Structures are given as C-alpha cells and as structure tokens.
Structure 1
Amino acid sequence: MGLDTLTAAKDLAANVERFTKTERAWTAQMIAPLSDAGQGTQASFVGRDFELGKVPSGPVWLHVSAQGLYRAFLNGVRVGDDLLTPGWTCYDRAIAYQSYDVSGLLKAGANRLEIWLGDGWYRSQMMWKAAPVFNCWGDRIAAIAELEAGSVLLKTDASWESGLLPVMRSGIYWGEDFDARVVPKATHRVEALGFDHALLVPHETGPVKELTPLLPLESWADGSAMVHDFGQNAGAYIRLTVEGAAGAKVRIEHSEILGPGREFDNRNYRGARAELTYVLNGQGVETYAPMFSFFGFRYARVHVEGAAKVTAIEMVPVTSVPDLAGGFECGVPQVNRLVLNTIWSQRSNFIEIPTDCPQRDERLGWTGDAQVFAGTACWLADAETFLTKYLRDVRHDQRPNGAVPHFSPDPTRLHPEQFPGDWAGSTGWGDAITVIPWQLYLHYGKVDVLRESFPAMVKWVDYLWSLGNGPIVQTNSRWGAQGFTFGDWLQPVGDNRTPRPTIAADCAATLYHFISTDLASKVATILGETAQARALRERAEAIRLAFAHEYIAPSGRLAHNDQTSYALAFLHDLIPAEHMDAAKAYFRKEVEDADYLIGTGFIGTPALLPALTKLGMLDLAAKVFLNRKVPGWLFQVDMGATSIWERWDALAPDGSIYDPDMNSYNHYAYGAVCQWLMEGVAGLTLDADHPGFDRLLIAPKILPELGHAKAWHNSRHGRVAAEWALNGNKVTYRLTLPAGMQAVWAGGDLPDLQLSGGATMGPGSHEITFTLKN
C-alpha cells in the first residue's frame, strides 16, 4: 500500500519552477533609506534627480518593487493606481514587482523619481496581541527600480538619497498617522543591500484596486465625535476632505457593528489599533486617504481636535478581485442579500491573499477558510491567478514532513522561538493543497496548477497516513503537536444542557484523509502518472473500508450521529450500499431532531446542503437553508448583516456582541453555500471530464420555497445563464450557453420531461420543462 513519493517529486519538481519564476535581467540594487529608524517609526522615501535629453519615442517602463510597501512618484505625479504594492507573498519565496508605462510623466530636461516606503506586511505587526511578530520577513524597508526604454535610463543604486515622509507611522493592524505639515526632503543617503534578484517575479495576480466609493447612509453625533454609517461592511479605507488650521487633527476609528444602544463597539478588533490620524497643513482644501494600510469596517467615528471641519467623507472599498463573475437571484429577498453578503466578504478578504478577516489583529491567509470557499470563489470572481499565487505560498510554507500550514504566508515558520511546535497539518486546513487546485482545474480547465501542486499533494497525504500509520488518522488535541486539528471548527452544539452531537477529531480527519487521497489519485491520472494514480486509488479504497469499519455501526448509524459526519460521508460516497437506507434515515432524523437548525462548522457546512440534495432530501435542504433562527444563514441577514459572519451566533437576538475576543463580522467561509446555489439549485454542475466549462452537467434542484431562481457566470467561453420558474407544479428551465460550451441533461427522467433539442445542448438558448414529483 506504500506510495513512492520520491518519484513524483523528482519527476515534477523541475516543472514547478518554470511556473513560478520569470527571468528579468535586473541590474538595479535594492536600496534602503538611511533616514529610516526602524519598524513603527516615521516612514521614508528614496529618490533621485535625473536628466533626459529628450523623452524616448516608444514606451518607457518603470519596473519597481520593495521590501515593505511602496508608492512611486515621477515628477510629483503618482505612478499607477495599484494599491498595497508590491503585494503580499512569502517574501523569502518571491517578491512581486510591477511594471508601468510612464512615458506621459517624463519630460525633456530635469526629472525626479521618488519611491515612498511603508512597513506593510514585511515588517509591521503580524499575528495577534498575545504573540505579535514584528520585522517578520526583515527589518529594512527598501526599494528597487529600473526605468527603461530599450536600455536602462535610471536604476536604484548607492547614489540615491533618502528622507522622511509625512507618514509618521503605518502598519497593517496599526493604520496610518499622517502629518501634512511635513514636507519630504532629502536628508540622508541610502545603503545598497545584499539582495537575491531571483526573488523578483512579475506580480502573480491582479493588483489591489479601489471599488466605487460609498457615501454615508446616516451620520450622527457621538459626544464631540461624528459616527458615519456607510451601510456596508467592507475591506476599505476612508477618504476625507477637510479644511482648517495647520496643526488641527482628525482621528478616525473604525468598527463593524454597533451595540444594542447604537454605541460604537470595536472590541473585536482586539490588538489592532486600526485608526487613521491626519494633521492638517492649513493650506486650503485638503484630501487624504491612507497609503499603507486598510481596514474592515462599516462605521467610522471621526474626532476633530482643533480648528478644522470635515467637509466630505467616503468609504473606499478595495480588493484584488474587483470584477463580479457570477450571481444568483431568487424570490426570497433574504437569500439574495446572503449572496450579496458573500460577494462583499470575498472582496473584503481577497486582498492579495485569501484572509480570514480584514479588521482585527489577524488578517491571515487561513488555509481552511480558503479550502471550503474555493469553489464559491471561482463562481463569483475570476480567482484563477489569485488562488494560484496563494497556492505557491502554501507550498513554500509546507513543512518537510508534508504538513500544510494553518495559514500562509506563515510567520510562525520564520519565528519558531515564538511559536513552539508546528502550526500545520490540521484537518480541512491542510487539505487546501488538494481541494483548491482541483477547483481551479474544474473552473479554468488548466493542468498547470495540478502539475505545480501534485508533489505537495503527495507529501500531504503521506503525512496524513503517517499520523496513524494507516488509514485512520490519529489526532492530537494539543495546539502545535503533530496531529493537531481544528476539527469541525465552530460547530454549533445547541443547548449546552443537552448539546447536539458533534463529530470527533479523528473521524473528521479520516474523512478528509479520504477526500484528499481521492483527489490526488484523480490528479495523478490527469497528469499521466499511472503508477502514482494506481497507488493512490488503492490507498483511498483502504481509507474507505477502514472508515466504514471504524465509524459505521452494523445498524448503519454513524459513530457520532452528527450532521457533519453524515454530510461528508454521503457527499463523498463513504457509506456502503448495504447501509445507505438506514444511514439516510439516521441523517434525516438528526436534521429533524435539530428542528432544521444547522449543526455543522467550517468543514461540515459546505457539505450539508449538497449532501441533502444528493440524497433527494430537498424538503430538508429547504428548511435548513431558509430557517431564520440561530444557527442559520438567514438569521444573520435578518440581524442586518451585510457580510458573512465568522460565528453562527456572532450577535445575539438583542444585538449584543458574542465573545469579542474571537468574533469577526466579515468572514467568508460560511458563504460557501453559494456554490450549492449555483451548482445545485441552478443546476450548473461542472464536469470533471470536460473542465473549464467545456461541458456542464445540468441537474437543477427545484425548491418551490424560493419561488424562482436565476444564475449566471462569466466563464472562459463567455456568459452562461440558467433560470427556472414555477407554474403550479410545472417547471420551466431555461439555459443559455456561449460558443465553445456544451451541456448535458443530468437531472434524470422526470415526469413530463421535455428537452428542446435533446439531452445534449450546444451554444444558444434551450428550454426544458417537467413536472415536480409529488
């Protein structure tokens, strides 16, 4: 049953590098400003005057990157509109650079290039207040740049100068303090650093961009301050316009929620100061937005100290995925708002990497959240390059023993003295290395991402096998220990006097052991790794048999009799045929006994409704999905949520905050239900044999409670759209396919089924009618 991982690693490791590196013959040096006093101090710039006899006739390109964050100015004009450049990666793997056509900013004669630098992810605080990490990837901010038009016109080297900026302090969790009275001037030289140019890669995904600004829906006084409600929780920053005397100051706090008495409450930010301060220069109308930070908020509280007046204020949402690629709408307004909430949580947390939340002292690339949401992410946005880039960091952070990190980029890997043990290897989190590449393959049809990730997949499933020296994974409850797992994180248990059943850690780990091994075998087959595919299939079958022996009673009842166990086991075909009917009955009873309340956490929730749907229990799926109590998706909508919550019980019915020490109101994981809306309710199922939307399997699941349903998605072939409507018990289903796409009816032989054009459909519009079964 053993699997020879060395063969896969040796055969494919050479191929990985060509997907992660693009050569550019840099001659510039990475230069650090000698004006810089270190992390958390006043920001610095590097700059250089240069002469041009004439502006070159062709395009002139500025290639630029930094240790830290940068913003470049050529002759006083900002270069580009990208935000938070050069972005966030494992900086010991790669540092992105950006390239801009700056021909229109140059002039004959004297010119000046300045690069402003902030601490950013590179050296401002990472991790939470109990164990903060500063200078995580290094303690020197620095810049590298080349201006070229066929040949290099200017490059960073030891001849440049440096000085201090109006940015008095900045940090990802800190926010930004800006004193407009400070005029940048050169006071110091620079130091050329030893730097490996091979780290520099073109930006591997789309840059962070501004979305359309939002104006306050309501504003009111809070003592001497003003609170502004922008009506939407988002990853964003404030842009304000202010007039007043030099030295007057505006301070802005942020929050996601208000307390029961409409009091401003941001205790859940924990150790993140998450504020802006702006000191006026007194020279007329002044406009300010931060350069080197962002926040997660809906409300802003504005304090003015001194003679100043805020004349305009707006929220500016930011994201790496600005273009909507899909949507779903039905006859229940709360469901439509839930979909919109998911879109906003994706935008808010897809800022360079898929973070858990955009507000508190965390904002880390948790692999578990990204794993469960990957399918939804690809339906709602073009997430191909975004998630591909993220996977490269996940693989870089993978441990030598195969354990995949809890989050990536991973500060704990670089600072083991602060984080004893190993922060890697959890059920559902580590499985990001198999699930995310598979979802990318399904949606975009490219084999490259599978080829890049396959050696890491094999290392991961080998690690899981090693934990129990066989198919049943032996877990450990101690954080940092080998075999530690989060299990079905934040699984609700109901009344604490008689809690609902929950899945055990070893059972959850064994379920995901099968899921990842099964996916790895499919990937090996696609890559033509025949021997690997066979060995992985054999191993998956061994896990299947061991799971049944260990966790299924002769009666067909699963060992923990909980919703997560049933959902994952049914969805992934782990229930033997002889136990199907009995296990289905136990599953139904568990859902009914829970009064149709959700009993699943992070790893079980994405499987719950698909499993019920797969089993034909549409009545249960509708009742669970549409229940308005806690725990439930629509409870949070009824409570006024404009993004997805981290916890089912994040707010009590009276509006009070639950456990502010671990509570985010912008956490996309439970929004994974949108994948079920697209694939199950709308019936647009991806075909693994014809990926990338070459062919769809059409099997809509009609929930009369929704009234009607419409879905659309912009695939690589163009827009696909589907909708169904009811007239009594008669269903009319309409499908529109772009050129290059086929669809096959996979919904079974329903009563009165009529397929215009037959069961196989090509580009164009199609209508299917049938009668609902009683």
Structure 2
Amino acid sequence: MSGPVPHIVIDAPYRSDVVASPTPEIGWRTETDTPGWLQSGAEVEVTRAGEVSSHRVDGRASTRIAWPFPPLAAREEVSLRVRVTGVDGAAGDWSEPRRIVAGFLAEGEWQAVTIGLAEPAENAQPAYLRTEFDVTGPVARATLYATALGVYQVAIDGVDVDDQVMKPGWTPYAHRTIHETTDVTRLLAEGRNAIGVRLAGAWATESFGFRENARPLYADQPRFAGQLLIEYADGSRRWIVTDASWQASSGPITASGLYAGEDYDARLALVDREGRGFAQAGYAAGGWAPVAELEALRTPEARVSPFVRRIEDLAVREVITTPSGKTVLDFGQNLVGRLRIRVSGPAGAVITLRHAEVLEHGELGTRPLRAAAATDHYTLAGGGAEEWEPEFTFHGFRYAEVDGWPGEFDPSAVTAVVIHSDMERTGWFEASHPLVNQLHENILWGLRGNFLYLPTDCPQRDERLGWTGDIQVFAPTASFLYDVRGFLDSWLRDLALEQVDGVVPFVVPNALGVARPAAAWGDAATIVPWVLHERYADVATVERQYPSMKGWADVLIRLAGPRRLWEGMFQFGDWLDPDAPPHLPANAKTDADIVASAYLFRSADAVARAAALLGKDDEAREYAQIAEEVRAAFLAEYVTPAGRMMSDAQTAYAMAIVFDIVPADQQEVLGARLAELTRLSGYRISTGFVGTPIIQDALTRTGNLETARRLLVQTENPSWLYPVTMGATTIWERWDSMLPDGSINPGEMTSFNHYALGAVGDWLHRVVAGLAPDAPGYERIRIQPRPLAEFDHAWAEHLTPYGTARAGWSRQDGVVRVEATVPPNTTAVVVLPDGRELEVGSGAHEWEVADTAPAAAASRIGLDSTLAAVIDDLEAYEAIGQVLEASSPEAAHGFRTHTKWSDARELGEALFMHAGPETQQEIAARLAELSAEREGATADA
C-alpha cells in the first residue's frame, strides 16, 4: 500500500447510500501500512449538480463529523470523497467516491391518502391493492415512498421493488411512522404500468398483553399509504399517490398474524386468464372493488435503522419421527424466520407447519409458546411444482412439524429462512475452550433473532416485545458484535416518545399500556445512549436523548425524596434469580430496594456525564451532586463498615463494585466477599438479569480472576455452560429453561432465545481477550488481556470506526504471547499480564511474558479436607460426585446443589447428610487413591 487510503462512511442504514437527514454525519476509515500513523488533516470534497466544493478538517477527527456543506435537498444525489494527510506530511490518494442520496421527503410533500379494504371479512384481513398509470416518456428517475399501519410489499409490473421483509417494522404508530425510500426507475417502462401492494396487519393488528388482557392496540385492519414520484428526462414530473381511485381485494393470504402464523391458499392466486398477476398492467380479473379511504397515518419519517432481510438459508439437519408418529424437522439451530417449501400435489391439499424451539419427550415442545399458535398452512393449487414462504409473519424455532405433505416427503424441499435486521457484523471472539466458543455463538444467534426492527425479549411466544431491561444490560455486547448504532438510535427515539411524564414504560413500543418506574428497565433511557457514545463516539444521539435521560432521572430523584433512596415500590429487581421459584421470578436474594437505589445512582451519574459532554456545566454539577448524595445514602443504608452488604448476595456486591458506588479502597473487601459467596455456591450462577451481566467484571476488578474463570466454565446447573451441554444454540431466558431430564421448566414464562443473560459476552471481549475502548469510539483502545488458567488462547476482533482492532493471547511452554492490531489514526494503552503498561500506535504488535500459573490443588485430599478445598479441587470434586452418583443419583444431586462450600466445614461432616458409611468409606478410598497418584507424580517430577 503506497500511502494512506480512506474509505467513506456515512450515517445511513447499512448497505444503503440513502440518508435520512439533510445533514448526515460522515466519516472515513484509513488503511495504511505506515506504523503509528496519525492523521493531521483531511480534505472532504462533494460533487453536487456538477459543482465541486471542499472542506478542510484539521487534526485527527475522522468519525461522526458534522455535515460540512449546505444541507441536502430531498432526493438530491451527491458524490463524496476524501483525502487524508498524516502527521508525517504525506498525503494519500483520494478515496473512491461514495454516492449519497437524500431519502427524505421535502416539507409538505407527503400527500398520500391512507387506504385499505372497504369491507373486510374479518379482523386483521390481509389485503391486496392496485392501480394502473401511464408513463408518457423517458424516465430520468422514479422514487417510491411508502408506509403502512401493518406490513407491506410493493410490486411494479409484477416485480417486487426491493428485498426487504416485514417493512416498515414496528414503531409507536401514533407518534412515529417510517417510510421506505426506493429507487424504482428500472421497473418503469413507457406506456401502461401497474402498482400492486400486498398488505397484512402484523404488529398493527396483533393482540398484545397477557392472558385475558390481550387486545389489539393500534388497529383492527391494516392500511397503506404511498406515493411514486416520476421525474421525466424533459424535467417534468408526476406524482402517483394512493387515493380513492385504487382498487382492493382479498387474495391467497387468507389469514396472517405474528403469533398465529399465516394461511395461504394458492387456489386464490390473483392471476387473470392471460396469466397476468394483479401487479401487472392489463390485469383483468373480477373480485376487485374501490378502496376505502381510512384514517390518515402520521406523516412518516425516513428510515434511520437497518432494513430487515432474508440473511441466510439453513437446510434440514435431521428428519425425526416422534413417538406419536409425527414428522419433525430439526434445523440444528434455534433461529428466527420461516420455512420455504417446494411441493407438488393435488389442488386443495393442505400442508401444516408448526414451529417450536425444543422437543419435549420427543414431541414438539409448544407449551412455552403460550397463546402463539406459530402455525402456517399452505393449500396447494395443484398442477405442478409450487414454492411458498410465508411473507408477513415470523417464528422462533429450531424444529418444525410437517403434516399433510402429499406423497413421499423430501427434506431438501424445506428450507429455514433466517431473517433479522441487516446490520454489519463487527465483532468476533474465539477461545480454546469449545463450550465457551459455543456460548459465544449462542449469544450471537440470540442477538440475531431478537434484533428484528427493534430489540425484543424473545421471538417465539405471544410477546416479542421491546423490553427495556433486556437491552439495557445487553447493549455493550451487541455494540461489539454488530454495528447497532442506527438500530438502537431508532429505538431510542421511540423510547423518548413513549415516556409518560419522564417515566419509561417496561416495553418500547408500549404495547402493554403500562408506564411505571422500574429500576434497570427504565434505566435504558440513560444507559443505552451512553453505550452508543462509548462505542461509537455518538454525541448526536446523547444530545437528542438528553431530555429523555434527564426526564427519567428526575422521576427517580423525585421518588427517592430527601432520603436519596428509592424504596418500597414495585420492582422487577434481580429478575430470574435462579433461586426464585418458577412462578415468582422477582423473588431474588438481593433486595429490590438495593437494586433500585443502585440504579438511581447510576442514572444520576449518567446524566451528569451527559450534561458535561454537552457543555451543560450547571446541570452536570447538579446531577453529580445528587449522585454523590445517593452514594452516601446507599453506603450508609446498605453497606456495613466491615464491607458486608445488607443483602448478602452476589448481585448486591457486583452492583456496588461495578457501578463505582463503593470507594476504591473498599472494593477489595467487597470483592473478597463476592468471591467467597461464589465459591460457597459451588461456582454456580446465583444472579439474575441485573447481576449476571456484571458479576464477572466485579470479580475481575477486585483481583478474583480465577473465581471468575470457575464461574465461566461451570457446566452444572445453573451456569452459562449448562445450556450448552444441553444442546442450546441460543441463550435461554431461565438458567434451567430445560431441566436436566429434558423436560421444559414448569414456569409459564420460559423462552429458549433470550439474550439478556448473554451480556457476559462483553466481558469475554474486553477482559478475556482484552479488547476495549479507552476513549469514545475506540479513538484510544485498551489492550489488557487476562489469560485464564486451563485456556490455551483467546482473541477478539472488532471493526471500530477507525478500522479493525484485534487483541489476543496464547500460551505455550511457560510463555504467554500477547498480540494486538491497532487501526490507523488510533493509539492503544497496553497492560500486559505481568503488569507492565505502555502506549503504542497503529500497526501489529507482539509481546511475551512469563506464564504465571495459579496455585495447584493440594496433593492430599480426604474426608478431613475443608469443603472449600474440595470445590477448588475439581478433580477431587468430580471423583466424589462419581461415587455418589453410582450409589444414589438423588444424593449426588443434593450434595452438589445444597452444599455450602465453606472453609470452616470438613467434607466428612457434609457427607453425613448425603451418604451412608459404606459410601463414605468408598469416597475416602477414592480420595486416598487420588492423593497417592498426586504424590507419586510429584516424586517422579
């Protein structure tokens, strides 16, 4: 590479040159072989209407730069390029030009009438709409703007205008609707043309709520609005808009719902005798009537989030015949999407496709779906090969039951189509531990399945809602794995719109109609914008969301009152603590008031930092002072002078440490107790939604890396790896969503695709591999790997706003080798495992340090050993478990799960409750053998 080469980045939905703002933020990533390269300046050049303008950027700025030219006009197309100069004075070549298209409407241009079926036969009736028009000359450009209260697809002369799915997605329709902007020039021809629209209800007509409270929130019927601008080569133009002249009909999609599934009768295909489809000019078939003009939709905004698309196809991995004789397909991966089938058979034959995430007792496990039927039906037209895929629904599933297949079933005739928001993949991780690698893969698939227009809790049951608490804890992990800035930026706009007097609802959009303060859930208003700033240097979103952030913090401050503690009110608390009963998921070991007050501190502190970032100095001081008052009240109320939390549970300690509530000089004491509690629980998870994302950081920060490692690699229930050993391919909602005997957790609320507990991914990236931002947007990177015992290597790679960064380590022959790649125009702070700290510039780097192995287990182990020594000696622990298992599986289970692994009790004492004298003698003999083996190995060495 001869010199620095920049590549333009614009603020647009991924894989699009269409921008939603007249002043989009711009940036560039530079590639160069020059080590330690830093930018001294750049020239940005825009070509618009044949005229060239340029702008000079001084210094290192290369990300999220305010648009330096006059604002774009609606539909304006410009070309942007950049040339950078390094601090060494060497200028690079111009970048390849980047086309930018203004995808928004001009003020007052939205004129479309909202239309739909005039006389629908039933609620949420799918509809087909059409019109014809003439193109009177050569077309320079044609642009379609369209939206729906529901979901839609448009075809022009029989060809779909794009490959998007379920558009325009789900927003709080009364406050905000989205339009797509699509260049359809290639689809128009001189003469007669036609537009056809396929329309269904999806989120707009779905019944939201639990049990008898479920009801449609937005509408009984879907409706559509759109307008096509034709710009002729001679400079004239014409709008084709939805109005009363359009025609409507029902058609082959006879029923469609998110939860229920979709029914399609191919015998009802809208094709005339000449073979023309309803979206083609000249189509002539009966059954059409004038549309109804319906209540107008809110004027839509241009899309800022990524499109949803078909991302990949998965083939059938196995065909299973269940004990009841059903045919079930296993795709080997819990996914979100639907099935595509290819089939031949007689007219009127009906194929039924039922979906579920798991099998239970060999049959499709549908109980966790609750009221969601998740069932599609296809009725054959007959007469040859037919292909079909549901269009306006999606399912969360690994398994699909097929019924009614005509003739011999061929598994190659069924494909699982994976759909989700088409975000750019930016993060990768790998370690030498196969189960940890699968855990990370499960985290990735959990994100993919639940990032479909908005961040949902689950994708399969009668819910699929934008729960605020889930994304609050998962945002850091998500922002590493994918470019989620536009995705979360869009959702945060909806969050602000749905706030009621500052209160953030449990879910956004607020499909439950409840707006009640809840710690860790409503705090998404303050935490998620700050994550976007930390990971993308995104000041614009923080600035736009600042009133929302401040509004939420003010609610909490008011509720706390002069005591500065948030107490005695409704809370989810440390939701799904594994010790909580299945039917009481909020009954956690950590008191909900401690959770609430800790988040009061965190949100007040976040608002103070946001105010300082935005130059609001008075407000920064005000909220910083409030945060300090909350801190003092929290310490006085919940932390003893000896360093014990009033809730002596791991989540309480983790929050006090990671939120920086406890002073630095007291954190080590709390960390020691946290480590002790973790060991007492047998290195099993003992935290819920609040504590799980931060417990590893709390342990690591307080010098308890080995405790964190044991917690990570635990495979007994509850643990991160227990679901992996049970065949999970996504993150579960409950630690034991499936019980060890293969039955589904008896709780009514059980999902097998729920990303919240996968928030540990951020710790894997930052701590195990050692790759983290040290300044907003990775302008300065922190390389600080922590080699874990019994791991041979780990690495992480991330596409930062500046380019690809990588950090990792490997060990061999008593040496740990640390490797790092630092992208151009950034620097990195490196902290090596031996404590050395240094700063480096861009390029590839490598260091070697001596491997410091953890202390070996005691050579001798016996009935007089402490329980702490036993649990810290995995070989001995497993040997005891094997003997107990052979004697009594129930006793083995009780010993593993109910023992408190204290250093003040001996093994023999604990075994008294679980094993008879003969079994105790057998255990003593087995431990004596193990001790002798170790002593012999030591003597040989």
Deviation per CA, 1:405-454: give whole Å up to 9, x if none: 111101233xxxxxxxx443111000101111011111111201101111
Which residue is 2:127 aligned to?
A: 44
Task: Kindly indicate whether residue 165 of structure 2 is the aligned counterpart of residue 83 of structure 1.
Answer: yes
Using the TM superposition, name which of 644-653 and 150-159 deviates more. 150-159
1:256-267 equivalences under 5 Å are: 256-259=357-360, 261-267=361-367
Contact 1:19 1:452 in 2 (8 A): no
Distance 1:166 1:732, change over 3 A: same
Cα separation, 2, equivalents of 1:63 and 1:47: 16
Which residue is 1:432 aligned to?
A: 524
Which residue is 1:417 aligned to?
A: none
Which residue is 1:684 aligned to?
A: 771
Quote the offset at 1:155 in angstroms. 1.4
Distance 1:644 1:119, change over 3 A: same
Contact 1:244 1:309 in 2 (8 A): no
Quote the offset at 1:100 in angstroms. 1.7
Quote the offset at 1:55 in angstroms. 4.3
Task: Kindly indicate whether residue 577 of structure 2 is the aligned counterpart of residue 491 of structure 1.
Answer: yes
Quote the offset at 1:255 in angstroms. 0.8
Secondary structure of residue in 1 paired with 2:795: strand
Cα separation, 1, equivalents of 2:394 and 2:307: 15
Secondary structure of residue in 2 paired with 1:470: helix
Which residue is 1:419 aligned to?
A: none
Cα separation, 1, equivalents of 2:827 and 2:23: 33
Quote the offset at 1:355 in angstroms. 0.4
Distance 1:467 1:495, change over 3 A: closer
Contact 2:255 2:263 in 1 (8 A): yes
Contact 2:785 2:807 in 1 (8 A): no
Deviation per CA, 1:519-540: give whole Å up to 9, x if none: 1111110000000000011001
Deviation per CA, 1:470-489: give whole Å up to 9, x if none: 3544444xxxxxx3210000
2:812 is aligned, of 713, 727, 730, to: 727
Cα separation, 2, equivalents of 1:317 and 1:642: 14
Cα separation, 2, equivalents of 1:514 and 1:379: 26
Contact 2:156 2:196 in 1 (8 A): yes
Which residue is 2:193 aligned to?
A: 111
Which residue is 1:743 aligned to?
A: 828
Cα separation, 2, equivalents of 1:446 and 1:335: 31
Which residue is 1:373 aligned to?
A: 474
1:131-280 equivalences under 5 Å are: 131-134=213-216, 136-150=217-231, 151-184=237-270, 186-195=287-296, 197-198=298-299, 200-222=300-322, 223=324, 225-259=326-360, 261-280=361-380
Distance 1:494 1:110, change over 3 A: closer
Quote the offset at 1:573 in angstroms. 2.0
State the TM-score, normalized to the length of structure 2. Answer: 0.75
Percent of paired sites with the same residue:
36
Contact 2:124 2:200 in 1 (8 A): no
Contact 2:177 2:298 in 1 (8 A): no
Task: Kindly indicate whether residue 148 of structure 2 is the aligned counterpart of residue 54 of structure 1.
Answer: no
Which residue is 2:842 aligned to?
A: 763
Distance 1:119 1:494, change over 3 A: closer
Which residue is 2:795 aligned to?
A: 710
1:444-593 equivalences under 5 Å are: 444-470=536-562, 472-476=564-568, 483-493=569-579, 502-576=589-663, 579-593=666-680
Flag structure 1 segments of 5+ consecutive residues without an equivalent.
1-15, 414-421, 477-482
1:280-679 equivalences under 5 Å are: 280-304=380-404, 312-400=413-501, 402-413=502-513, 422-470=514-562, 472-476=564-568, 483-493=569-579, 502-576=589-663, 579-659=666-746, 661-679=748-766
Distance 1:308 1:250, change over 3 A: farther
Secondary structure of residue in 2 paired with 1:211: strand
Q: Aligned letter for 2:222?
A: I
Task: Kindly indicate whether residue 122 of structure 2 is the aligned counterpart of residue 30 of structure 1.
Answer: no
Quote the offset at 1:156 in angstroms. 1.0
Contact 2:563 2:633 in 1 (8 A): yes
Quote the offset at 1:677 in angstroms. 0.7
Contact 1:722 1:734 in 2 (8 A): yes
Flag structure 2 segments of 5+ consecutive residues without an equivalent.
1-20, 26-102, 232-236, 271-285, 854-941
Quote the offset at 1:194 in angstroms. 4.1
Distance 1:149 1:49, change over 3 A: closer
Number of residue equivalences: 729
Contact 1:744 1:761 in 2 (8 A): yes
Deviation per CA, 1:672-728: give whole Å up to 9, x if none: 1110011111111212xx311111122211212222001101112111111101124
Contact 2:672 2:702 in 1 (8 A): no
Quote the offset at 1:322 in angstroms. 4.7
Secondary structure of residue in 1 paired with 2:396: strand
Cα separation, 2, equivalents of 1:152 and 1:140: 30
Cα separation, 2, equivalents of 1:322 and 1:408: 20
2:176 is aligned, of 94, 107, 110, to: 94
Using the TM superposition, name which of 450-459 and 316-325 deviates more. 316-325
Which residue is 1:8 aligned to?
A: none
Quote the offset at 1:335 in angstroms. 0.6
Quote the offset at 1:257 in angstroms. 0.6
Task: Kindly indicate whether residue 780 of structure 2 is the aligned counterpart of residue 695 of structure 1.
Answer: yes
Cα separation, 2, equivalents of 1:124 and 1:166: 20
Secondary structure of residue in 1 paired with 2:492: helix
Which residue is 2:280 aligned to?
A: none
Which residue is 1:416 aligned to?
A: none
Contact 1:321 1:383 in 2 (8 A): no
Deviation per CA, 1:499-522: give whole Å up to 9, x if none: 998110101101111111111111
Contact 2:150 2:200 in 1 (8 A): yes
Aligned-CA RMSD value: 2.3
Distance 1:32 1:581, change over 3 A: closer
Cα separation, 2, equivalents of 1:119 and 1:189: 20
Contact 1:128 1:271 in 2 (8 A): no
Contact 1:443 1:686 in 2 (8 A): yes
Contact 1:81 1:209 in 2 (8 A): yes
Cα separation, 2, equivalents of 1:255 and 1:580: 45
Contact 2:124 2:222 in 1 (8 A): no
Distance 1:702 1:716, change over 3 A: same
Cα separation, 2, equivalents of 1:331 and 1:601: 27
Q: Aligned letter for 1:63?
A: Y
Using the TM superposition, name which of 30-39 and 436-445 deviates more. 30-39
Quote the offset at 1:491 in angstroms. 0.8
- Computing the radius of gyration from Cα coordinates, the structure with the larger value is 2
Which residue is 1:6 aligned to?
A: none
Q: Aligned letter for 1:107?
A: A
- Choose between structure 1 and 2 for higher RCO, CA contacts under 8 A separated by at least 6 residues: 1
Contact 2:353 2:377 in 1 (8 A): yes
Secondary structure of residue in 2 paired with 1:364: coil
Secondary structure of residue in 1 paired with 2:846: strand
Which residue is 1:11 aligned to?
A: none
Cα separation, 2, equivalents of 1:374 and 1:381: 10
Q: Aligned letter for 2:543?
A: R
Cα separation, 2, equivalents of 1:85 and 1:139: 18
Contact 1:161 1:186 in 2 (8 A): no
Quote the offset at 1:22 in angstroms. 5.3
Cα separation, 1, equivalents of 2:665 and 2:769: 32
Contact 1:341 1:641 in 2 (8 A): yes
Q: Aligned letter for 2:753?
A: N
Q: Aligned letter for 2:795?
A: K
Quote the offset at 1:148 in angstroms. 1.4
Cα separation, 2, equivalents of 1:678 and 1:254: 34
